[in-house]
Amino acid sequence: MPTDTNQPNQAQIQPVVLIICDGWGVAPPSDGNAITQAKLPVFNRLLKTYPAMTIIASGNEVGLEWGQMGNSEVGHLNIGAGRVYYQTLLRINQSISSGAFFKDETLLKATAHVKKNKSRLHLMGMVSNGNVHSAEEHLYALLKFAAEQKIKEVYIHMFLDGRDALFNGGGASLERLQAKIKEYGVGRVASLAGRFYALDRDNRWDRIEKTYRAIAEGTGEQSSDPAEAIKASYAKEVYDEQFVPVTITDGGKPVATVEDNDAVIFFNFRPDRARELTKAFALPGFDKFTARAYKNLLFVTMAEFEKSLPVEVVFPPDVIKNCLAEVVSN
């Protein structure tokens, strides 16, 4: 039987193991450095026996802005790509700086949808200066874009951080947002929720449901003032991450809920924690809890959260060819 001489002999194939130790950094010894305090006979032997180097895992070297801290997803993407992988954060920032953002076809499709249907534009996402899942500047750019497009009804569903930013930084983030709303003359906060409830990634659908109800129905806890709602929560020592979803009201009625014919832009750029809430709004046949089957709802995501989701994507992923896994397998 003929054999393919280009194929390696099974006996020649040696196992290749890539082990990633998340959180295992390199820093000077100290009382707070668990790695230098620990006994690591195997690891230390490997360092002495085989070539080793320290690499940078933040900033420009991993496709982020200068000085921006890395995270697990950024690290995994760069390792898997086998090269610098320019992160969605940087791509969006560059698009805003160049002005291309304000001419983007997908974003223009959202505003055209609102104009055609005489409906509302909803902006949802984490409002935080942590820049891990989202960036405040992206929301500000969307407000500017909406103002330029003369969209009158723009409602913001604000998710608080408290994990990748200060535990109580939500109040300051809201102040900065309110200043931008005043500057551009458009936008109003319609709901608040901590990331614990809005951005779960482990199928804890009871948490997602609380956020969904606040945004879609205006049910649950209510407040007439977002700043007062945050202050009241802090007074109970419930800070940003655990902030219980609140619907903002005007005259006893919700400022806005997502309705048929509306458009939604989810401005988080990191996919993992944005998928579940997106599915509740956009996925036909969603069955994790009772959710509304919207008619003519245009749902837009800043990045691709999952290939199969029926949404419009502003910044689809770059296709990586000749990646690390391909090189190793060949």
Question: Residue 265 sits in which domain range?
Answer: 100-315
- The pLDDT of residue 9 is 62
Helix or strand holding residue 46 (H, E): helix 41-49
Give the pLDDT confidence of 248-299 residue by residue, as tens digits.
999 999 999 999 999 999 999 999 999 999 999 999 999 999 999 999 999 9
**Whether 72 is catalytic:** yes
Any domain includes 173: yes
Q: Are residues 120 and 38 in the same domain?
A: no
Q: Grade residue 95 by pLDDT with cuts at 50, 70 and 90.
A: very high
CATH assignment at residue 159: 3.40.1450.10
Active-site hit among 58, 72, 95, 134: 72
- The pLDDT of residue 38 is 94
Give the pLDDT confidence of 13-39 residue by residue, as tens digits.
778 888 888 888 889 999 999 999 999
The Cβ of residue 296 has, within 10 Å, a number of other Cβ atoms equal to: 13
Q: What is d(CA 221, CA 59) in angstroms, rounded to the nearest whole number?
A: 40
Q: Are residues 118 and 244 in the same domain?
A: yes
Of 64, 96, 14, 98, the C-alpha closest to 328 is 14
Helix or strand holding residue 78 (H, E): helix 72-81
Whether pLDDT at 239 is above 70: yes
Contact 199, 126 (CB under 8 A): yes
CA angle 222, 223, 224 (to 5 degrees): 135
Q: Which of 75-84, 148-157, 227-236, 320-329 has the lowest mean pLDDT?
A: 320-329
Q: Are residues 137 and 250 in the same domain?
A: yes
| DSSP conformation letters of 148-198 | HTT---EEEEEEE-SSSS-TTTHHHHHHHHHHHHHHHT--EEEEEEEHHHH
Contact 120, 111 (CB under 8 A): no
In the chain, the N- to C-terminal Cα span, in Å, equals 24
Mark which of 86, 115, 132 sits at the end of a domain: 86
Q: Are residues 116 and 51 in the same domain?
A: no
Of 87, 172, 77, 198, the C-alpha closest to 132 is 87
Radius of gyration of the chain (CA): 23
Residue type, 16: V
Mark which of 86, 121, 141 sits at the end of a domain: 86
Q: Are residues 79 and 163 in the same domain?
A: no
Task: Count up the domains in the chain and report the number.
Answer: 2
Indicate the pTM of the whole model.
0.81
Q: Grade residue 65 by pLDDT with cuts at 50, 70 and 90.
A: confident
